[in-house]
Homo-oligomer: A and B are copies of this chain.
Amino acid sequence: MAKPSKKSALSERESNPGSPTINPASRQKIKAFRKKEIEVEELIHRLLKGDKTALGRAITLVESQQPDHLAKAEKVVEACLPHAHQSVRIGITGVPGVGKSTFIEAFGSYLVGKGKKVAVLAVDPSSTVSHGSILGDKTRMEKLVTLENAFIRPSPSGESLGGVAQKTRESIILCEAAGFDVLLIETVGVGQSETTVHSMTDFFLLLKLAGAGDELQGIKRGIIEMADAIVINKADGENQKAAREARLEFKRALHLYPPKQSGWRPKVLLSSAIENTGIPEIWELIEEFTGLTKGNNYFEHNRHEQNKFWLLQTINEHLKSRFYRHPEMKKALQKQLQAIENNETSPFAAAAFLLKKYDEL
Contact = CB atoms under 8 A, between A and B. Distances in A.
Interface of A: 74, 77-78, 81-82, 84-85, 166, 169-170, 173, 215-222, 224-225, 249, 252-253, 255-258, 304, 307-308, 310-311, 314-316, 318-320, 323, 336-337, 340-341, 343-352, 354-355
A333 B316 CA distance: 13
A148 to B, nearest CB: 28
B347 A169 contact: yes
A343 B82 contact: yes
| Complex copy number for this chain | 2
A212 to B, nearest CB: 11
B257 A219 contact: yes
Contacts of A220: 258
B315 A354 contact: yes
Contacts of A350: 311
Contacts of A354: 315
Nearest to A355: B318
Nearest to A314: B351
B341 A304 contact: yes
Contact of A314 (B249, B341, B347): B347
A344 B348 CA distance: 41
Contacts of A169: 346-348
The interface residues of chain A, by DSSP majority, are classed as helix
A347 to B, nearest CB: 4
A312 to B, nearest CB: 8
A224 B224 CA distance: 12
Nearest to A310: B347
Contact of A343 (B81, B217, B252, B355): B81
A104 to B, nearest CB: 25
A167 to B, nearest CB: 9
Given A311-B337, A319-B319, A348 B253 contact: no
A225 B215 contact: no
Contacts of A345: 78, 81
A348 B350 CA distance: 32
A336 B323 contact: no
B314 A323 contact: no
Contacts of A78: 345-346, 349
B311 A316 contact: no
Name which of A82, A336, A349 has the most chain B CB atoms within 10 A of its CB.
Answer: A349
Contact of A351 (B225, B252, B311, B343): B311
Nearest to A316: B320
Contacts of A166: 348
20 contacts: A77-B346, A78-B346, A81-B344, A81-B345, A166-B348, A169-B348, A216-B258, A219-B256, A220-B258, A221-B225, A221-B257, A249-B256, A307-B337, A308-B340, A308-B347, A311-B336, A311-B347, A314-B351, A314-B352, A318-B351
B224 A256 contact: yes
Most buried by B among A74, A344, A347: A347
Contact of A258 (B74, B221, B249, B319): B221
A216 B249 CA distance: 16
